[in-house]
Each structure stands twice: as structure tokens, then as C-alpha cells.
Amino acid sequence: MSLRRGASGLLIFVILAVPVPGKKLEITKKVGDLMVEIRMDRDPPIVGKNAAEIRIKDEQGAAVQEAKVFLNYYMPPMPRMVPMNYKVEAKRKKDAYLASLNLIMAGPWIIILRITRGDKTLSTKFQIDAR
């Protein structure tokens, strides 16, 4: 009987120790003549560091590789709270731009994505909800 309890306890531990794959957040928008997709490693994003991958395609569907991509993410202003406003440049890696967003509080966050190609800048807004 003691062996049986020990084995079932081990089984419960093994089940809890196995990571459960979560779904990823994916949002796609048309911005000017570009298609922009932002992917985050978790849906919903969590309080803490969240990896963001931005993919940009031109009118022909080819990956845009020569852009400067900036993210300004902030929590909408709330009474008696210090503004939470952060900026990060996404770094190009192959056909995507990568950034890390450190969300310091649960709740709604706005992401302003700014893409500069040559002398032309386009921007769009995404809203996420961190938990």
C-alpha cells in the first residue's frame, strides 16, 4: 500500500513537471502598402518579459529587411499612477524583427509600432492584455 501511494505521488509530480505548450498571440494588420504581423510568445502576454517577433511584407509578399522598427509600449494613464511608457528598437534577424517587452503590470497595454524605410515612416497600434 505504501508503494502504491509513492508511485501515484511520483506520477502526479511527473505530470506537473512536464511543460504545457501555450498558444502564441498573433495579430496581422495592413499598414500603408505593408502587411505587418506581430507575434508574441504567449497569449495572453504575462507580467514580465515577453518576446515579440514582427514580420513585415511588401505589396509583393516579400519580407521587408531594410527597415528600422521601433516599439513604444505603454499602459493607458490611470489616476494616481506613474506613467508606464517604454521604447525599444526591434533588431532584424533573417526575415523578422525581434524585441523584448517587459510588462511590469497586469492589464491593458498599447503597442505603437513604427516602421521607417528610407524617408517614409508608417505606424500602427496594437492592444494587448497582460496577465
Q: Is residue 12 part of a domain?
A: no
Q: Is residue 78 part of a domain?
A: yes
Domain span holding position 73:
22-130
pLDDT tens by residue, 55-101: 999 999 999 999 999 999 999 888 888 889 999 999 999 999 999 99
CA dihedral (110, 25, 67, 120) positive or negative? negative
**CATH value at residue 83:** 2.60.40.2480
pLDDT tens by residue, 8-38: 454 444 444 344 456 899 999 999 999 999 9
Taking alpha carbons only, the member of 41, 34, 46 closest to residue 114 is: 34
Distances 71 to 1, 8, 52, 59 between C-alpha atoms, Å: 59, 48, 10, 22
Higher pLDDT, 117 or 81: 117
What is the pLDDT at residue 63?
97
Phi, psi of 42 (to 5 degrees): -140, 145
Q: Is residue 89 part of a domain?
A: yes
What is the pLDDT at residue 31?
96
